[in-house]
Structure 1
Amino acid sequence: RFAQRLQAPATILVGDFGGGTSDFSVLRFDPAAGRAVPLGHAGVGIAGDQFDYRIIDRVVSPELGRDGTYRIMGGAALPVPIEWYASLARWHRLSLMRTPQTLRAIAEVARTASDPAKLNALAMLVADQQGQALYRAVGAAKSALSAADSTVLRFSYKDIRIERAIARAEFESWIAPDLAQFDAAIGEALANAGLTEDGIDRVFLTGGTSFVPAVRALFVDRFGAARVDRGGEFVSVAEGLALMGR
């Protein structure tokens, strides 16, 4: 649909943010001929789910015991196993924690933990398959920060109560390493196309992550607001495939 609005040939940078990958492609569109010629591409293996990970890591995991300690036979305090929280923050890995072995391990650590209630809450969340509900709460907070300067992440289930205010500036500091990867990939796509920012006529952003103000700012800073466009963030790829199939 974006390409259909072009009135003359143009060189376009497309930023396509998926659930787990982000791709940046430089294309030469010729609306009269109805075709696009690829000039350069780069991508990174992170996108919206990485931003969810940052929120879980900073807000949720501490409430479920990540920063606590435990003891073995009265010995020195040991850190709670960090791998549980790495899995908690990745939706495709959380279900793998729901095994008798892992749940027993969490219960055993909780017996001598500095904050056993938090470890028990982690075990309950995993055993009762509440991961998707947690991810929905995290996603809602992330989405709210695209429109507001702050929001409150709220999640509750039985005895678990997580309520934490998050400022957009705070969230942007958490995702700064990810933004740096996006910025580097944009530069790589331009280099692969043999172009600088001045050689790009328009920028088109698609995918839900493009709503995040700090993501859009990467492109505005490089190309200027007048050249940055977006639309159909959740359906533009499907629409494009449908048009190609006509």
Structure 2
Amino acid sequence: MKQFYARLLRLICGLFLYALGIVVTMNAHMGYAPWDVFHVGFAKTIGISIGTVSIITGVIIGIITVLLGEKLGLGTILNMVLIGVFIDMLLGFHIIPVASNFMFGIIMLIVGLFIIALASYFYIESAFGAGPRDSLMFALTRKTGLPVGVCRGTIELLAVFVGWRLGGMIGIGTIISAFVIGFCVQTTFKLLKFDATEIKHETLDQTYKTLFNNKKEQFHEEEVLKKGL
């Protein structure tokens, strides 16, 4: 049971870091990452917070992936909710500086991408399932037979286009994010000696069974101790 809670803590830390990385890249004012272009554009259009848009988008995508036959994990559910909550919290506290010039913006952007890469390590290593956007990518890859890179690129280009039409900011940071995030993730994983392909993710039903069986075993042990006394 302690191992389960340790994994859960890593998951939540990863989601917080992911939100932190997003806010840092946004405050770099160099142009938002693909999904953030959509989130900001949609938030401006309907007048709600960026975090709320992230939550709504995650839930809708999660429903679509389930309809496409993908299984959700606890990490998928918490991803839908907590990243948006953490984004609004960080933006509301105004604790992340805003870039005042080009060089500071570039530095903030790169730092933000490395924070996201570190977040990916914690998130994936917890093995509680892929995020809703990644699940959609996997579902489309399985359904269409197209390469995963094509499916991911298509999804993100669509998110950028719609977000841009809704008022989301596109700039050099959008291009840098698209091309550099892979390098940041690869470098971070290499430094931490982490191989994401070795992780076997746990679905919601498997998590439930793990918790239920652990509680049954704990209850049985307590009954044995009572009888012994």
Q: TM (normalized to structure 2)?
A: 0.31
Q: Report which of the two has the higher share of helix.
A: 2
The higher radius of gyration belongs to 1
Greater strand proportion: 1
> Which structure would you say has the larger RCO, counting Cα contacts within 8 Å and 6 or more residues apart?
2
What is the TM-score of this pair, normalised by structure 1? 0.30
